[in-house]
C-alpha cells in the first residue's frame, strides 16, 4: 500500500510539469509519505480519523 502512496505523489509531481519537483520526490522515495513515520501496528489499531490525525501530526 505504501508503494501506491509513493506512486500517487510521484504522479502529482509529474502532472505539475515541474521536472525538478518530480526529481526531488523520486529521490526521496518512501520518505515522501508521512505514514512511514508511523509504526504498522499503530496504523492498524487506529480508526480512520485518528490515523489521519496521526499522519497529519507526523507531517508537521
Note the pLDDT of residue 11.
92
Domain boundaries defined on the chain: 2-59
CA-only gyration radius of the chain, Å? 13
Residues 6-57: pLDDT tens digits? Answer: 888 889 999 999 999 999 988 887 777 766 666 666 556 666 677 778 778 7
Global pTM value:
0.54
Other beta carbons less than 10 A from residue 33's beta carbon: 21
pLDDT of amino acid 49? 77
SS3 17: coil
Amino acid at each position: 500500500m505504501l508503494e501506491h502512496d509513493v506512486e500517487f505523489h510521484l504522479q502529482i509531481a509529474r502532472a505539475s510539469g515541474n521536472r525538478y519537483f518530480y526529481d526531488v520526490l523520486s529521490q526521496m522515495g518512501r520518505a515522501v509519505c508521512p505514514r512511514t513515520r508511523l509504526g504498522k501496528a499503530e496504523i492498524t489499531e487506529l480508526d480512520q480519523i485518528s490515523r489521519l490525525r496521526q499522519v497529519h501530526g507526523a507531517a508537521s
